[in-house]
Structure 1
Amino acid sequence: MTASTDRALTLRRRTALWVLGTTAALAAAGCAAPSQPIALPTLDGRPPLVVAHRGASGYLPEETLEAYTRAIELGADVIEMDLLSTKDGVLVTRHDPNLAISTDVAKHPEFASRKKTMQVDGETQTGWFVQDFTLAELRTLGAISTDAERPQQFNGRFKVPTFQEVVDLAKAKSRETGRTIAIYPETKNPTWFRDLGLPLEEKLIAILEAAGWNSKTAPVYVQSFEPGSLKTMKAKGLKTKLIQLIDGDGIDMRTGAMTYAVPVDRPYEWTKAGDKRNFDVMVTPAGLAEIATYADGIGPWKRYIVSVKGMIGPDGKPVDINADGKINDADATSATPTTLVADAHRAGLFVHPFTFRNESRRLARDYQGDAKNEYIAFYRLGVDGVFADFTDTALAARAAWLKETGR
C-alpha cells in the first residue's frame, strides 16, 4: 500500500466516523436514518461480528455444548472457547486450569486428595487442576456458573466438552441453520502447559487440519495472549486468522489509567524471559506494527478503547455513587475514546474487544443501565467485532446501530 493510498483510506475512515456521529445525533433528535447507507467504519466495511464469549455464558454455564448451542440459537456469528489440556493430552474447553472456578469438583469426594496449591502463570492458586485429570475423570464433573448474579439452576447439569466436540457442533449447526458458524479458540496458558509437557498448539492445528479448516478463509479465528504461541502455530503451518489478545488488570478510578498485576500484566512468556514490559506496549504504533507481522487482528480489553473514571471525594478516594458498598463501573463515567481502533486499522489489523456484559455493575453510568448503549458506542468507533456474554443484547444493539447507518 502506498502512502497516498493509506492517507486516502484514513481520510475515508475519519469521514465515515464523522458521518456516523452526525447520524447518531440526528437519530437522538428523532430524525430518520439516511436514505442511502453510509460507509461502515470497520476495517472491511462489513458489520461487526458478534462473538459469543464462552457461548451464551450470560444464561448457561460457560463453555459447554449447551451454552454454545444456545448462543447459536440466539444468532451468534462466532462461538468462542478457551483450550486447556487434560492429563491424557485431550484439548477441552475451560477458561481456567483451576477446575474449582467453573466445575463442581469440590463436591466430588473421590477427588478430594487432588486439591493442591500451585502457581499458574505466576499467580498462586489453590484448587483442583485440569492437568491432573484424564478426560474420563473430567467427564464426571458438572459445569457451574462463574458469576453469582447469573442463573444457578443449571449448575452440575452439563459436562465439559472436548474441542473436537465443539468443532463438530459448529459444523452441524452451520448445516442445520444454513449460516456459517465460526469458531474462536484460544490457546490458554500455553507456556505453562508446555512446561507441563502438554503443549496445546500442535493438537489445535491437527484438529483444524482434520476439519478442513486450516486456511485464511476458514471460519476460524485463533487467539492467544502469548505472541510466542501464535508465532509457533504459524511456523508449524497454521493458516487461519490469528489474533493477539491484550490484557490489563483494572482501571485507576482517579485517572482512568490502566493498572497491571500478575497474571494479566504481560504475556507469561515475557515474565519467564525477564521482560518487564506490560501489555500496553502492544497498543502503541510500534507494538501494532509488530503484531501485524504475525497476526491479523487484536483482541484488546475494551478499556484500551474506552476507559472509565470515577468521581473523587474530598478524601481523595472514589465515591460509591450508587451506595451499594462497592466501587465499580456503575460509579464511573466513560472517558474520551482512544485512537486504538483507528491506529490498528492503519496497521491493517481488525479489532475485537472483550468483554461486553449486561450486569449493571459492569456498565458505566453514562450507559444508563442499558448494555445496548455500550455496544452502540463501540460500534460507532469502528470495532470489527465484540466478545459478548449476552449474544442477543449484542445483536439487538448491532441492529439498532445499523439502522442508524441506513441499513
Structure 2
Amino acid sequence: MVIAHRGASGYRPEHTAAAYELAIALGADAVEPDVVPTRDGVLVVRHENEIGGTTDVADRPEFADRRTTRVVDGHKLTGWFTEDFTWAELSTLTARERLPRVRPASTRFDGRYPVLRLEDVLRILDAAPRPVAVVLEIKHATYFASVGIDMARLVEREVIRWRARGGTAPLIVESFEQGVLDELRRRELRARFVYLHERRGTAADLVAARGRAAPSWESQRTNAGLDALAESGMHGLSVETSALSRDLVTRAHARGLDVYAWTLRPENRFLPERHRLGASSAAHGDWHAWFAEVAATGVDGVFADHPDLPREALRP
C-alpha cells in the first residue's frame, strides 16, 4: 500500500485540497490526514496544533494576540494553536509549504489553498474516480484531554457522519498513543487500528499514566510487546524507517499484525547517508535504491510525500 503522506506533500503544501487531489491522480492507495481540533470541536487537518509555520496566521494582525506558549507532550512550543480558534476563524487562513528550503518549488502555492476540515478531505475521497483509503492520524489525544477535548468522541462523530452520507472508503485509524485507539475500538468504530512508533522514546499517554515506569516503543517491539499489541486488538504498527527491519516484519506478521513504515522522501536530507548524492540537502539522492530496500523488508505499506515514486522504485 502506498499512502500519500498528508497528500502529495512533496509537490504541494501538505494537507491542502491540491495535495490530496494530486495524490489520487498519482495513484496513491490511501491518503493520510492528521487531525487536530478547533475550540468549537471541529477536526481540521494539520500536522500539529501549532500552525505558525504552515499557515499565514503569523501575518494576520487580527490574530496577533493568540500567540502563546504551550507544553504539548513534554515539548514547549510558542505560536498559534488550533484549539484557540473557532472553525470560522481558521477557515480564513491559507496554507504554506512546511519545508521551503528543501522544497522551494512548492512555495509558489503558498496562500492559494485554505485550511481544510477532515470533512473536506473525506468529501474529496468520496468524489474520487476510484476507491482510495483514508489513514486518519489522531494527534496528541492526552494533551487535548488535559484541556477538555475528547479526541475519540470527535473522531467517532465525524466518521459516523461520513458513513451516514454514503462514505465507503476503507478506514485505518492510527496514533502514537494506543489509549485513544483502544477507546475507539471499545466504541466499535468500523476501522483498522494501527499503533505508531518512533524509533526511540515513549508514548505520551503512557508517560502521563506511568511516569518513568512507562514502557518504551523499543520494548513494545520485542516479542512480548508484539504479543501484547496483538492481544489488545490492534491490527498493526507503523514505524519510522530507521526502526524497520525484515526481522520486525516477520515477527509482527507471525502475530497477525500489519507493518507500515514512514516516511519515504527522495531528498538527501531524509535519506540514509549511503544513498545521498552531492552536497545539497535538498537534491534528490539515490531514493530509488532506498525505497526498494524498504519494500524488501516485506512491509505492508509505506508513507510517501511523493506517492508516484515508490511505484517507480518497485517497477520490474
TM-score by length of 2: 0.91
> 2:239 aligned to 291, 300, 305, which one?
300
Q: Give aligned-pair identity as a percent.
A: 38
Instruction: Write the deviation string for residues 85-105 of structure 1: whole angstroms up to 9, x where unpaired.
Output: 001100010011111131111
The aligned residue for residue 122 of structure 2 is: 167
Measure the CA separation in 2 of the matches of 1:280 and 1:365: 23
Distance 1:218 1:108, change over 3 A: closer
1:343 aligns with 2:251: yes
Deviations 1:111-167 (CA, angstroms, capped at 9, x unpaired): 111111110111101001110000111011111111121121111211111111111
**CA distance in structure 2 between the partners assigned to 1:204 and 1:167 by the alignment:** 12
> Offset at 1:338?
5.4
Deviations 1:45-84 (A, max 9, x none): xxxx000000011111101111101111111000001110
> How much does 1:191 deviate?
1.0
Q: Which has the greater radius of gyration?
A: 1
Q: Deviations over 1:206-236 (max 9, x none)?
A: 22223338xxx95111001111001000011
Q: Which residue of 2 aligns with 1:85?
A: 37
| CA-CA distance at 1:343 after TM superposition | 0.9
Q: Among residues 177, 188, 199, which one is paired with 1:237 in the alignment?
A: 188
Partner SS state of residue 339, structure 1: helix
Matched residue, 2:203:
267
- Contact 1:170/1:181 (<8 A) preserved: yes
Correspondence for 2:280 = none
Kindly indicate whether the alpha-carbon contact (under 8 Å) linking 1:144 and 1:156 is maintained by their aligned counterparts in 2: yes
- 1:384 paired with 2:300, answer yes
Indicate the SS of the match to 2:262.
coil
- Could you say which residue in structure 2 is the equivalent of 1:357? 265
8 Å contact kept, 2:175–2:181: yes
Query: Cα deviations across residues 276-325 of structure 1 (Å, max 9, x unaligned)?
Result: 432111211111111112211111111111xxxxxxxxxxxxxxxxxxxx
> What are structure 2's unaligned runs of at least 5 residues?
277-284
Q: Secondary structure at the match of 1:343?
A: helix
Aligned residue runs from structure 1 range 269-288, under 5 A = 269-273=205-209, 274=211, 275-288=213-226
- Residue 139 (str. 1) matches residue 91 (str. 2): yes
Correspondence for 2:279:
none
Cα distance in 1 for partners of 2:169, 2:237 equals 18
> What's the Cα RMSD here?
1.5
Measure, in 2, the Cα distance between the counterparts of 1:190 and 1:365.
35
Superposed CA offset, 1:375-406 (max 9, x none): 111211101110000111112123x2xx2xxx
Q: Distance in 1 between matches of 2:214 and 2:258?
A: 27
Amino acid at match of 2:111: G
Report the 3-state secondary structure (helix = DSSP H, G, I; strand = E; otherwise coil) of the residue aligned with 2:63: helix
- The answer to whether the 8 A contact 2:265-2:306 is kept is yes
Gaps of 5+ in 1: 1-48, 249-259, 306-336
Is the 1:304–1:338 Cα contact (8 Å) retained in structure 2?
no
The separation in 1 between residues aligned to 2:77 and 2:221, in whole angstroms, is 30
Q: Tell me the equivalent position of 1:224.
A: 175
- Cα distance in 2 for partners of 1:222, 1:397 equals 27
In the alignment, the residues of structure 2 paired with residue 118 and residue 380 of structure 1 have an alpha-carbon distance, to the nearest angstrom, of 41
CA distance in 2, matches of 1:211, 1:268: 29
Distance 1:155 1:185 in 2: 24
Q: What is the SS of the residue equivalent to 2:127?
A: helix
Partner deviation per Cα, 1:181-201 (whole Å, 9 max, x = no partner) = 110101100111112112111
Tell me the SS of whatever aligns to 2:108: coil
Taking the TM superposition and a 5 Å limit, the aligned residue runs for 1:20-169 are 49-147=1-99, 148-150=101-103, 151-169=106-124
4+ residue runs over 6 A deviation:
none
SS at match of 1:277: coil
SS at match of 2:107: coil
Q: Decide whether the 8 Å contact of 1:230 with 1:294 is kept in 2.
A: no
Partner Cα separation in structure 2 for residue 111 and residue 203 of structure 1: 25
SS at match of 2:77: strand
8 Å CA contact 1:184, 1:220 repeated in 2: yes
SS in 2 for 1:381: coil
Q: Answer yes or no: is the 8 Å Cα contact 1:145–1:155 preserved in 2.
A: yes
Matches of 1:211 and 1:129, distance apart in 2: 26
TM-score normalised by the chain length of structure 1: 0.71
Amino acid at match of 1:271: V
Q: Whole-Å Cα distance in 1 between the matches of residues 7 and 61 of structure 2? A: 29
SS at match of 1:153: helix
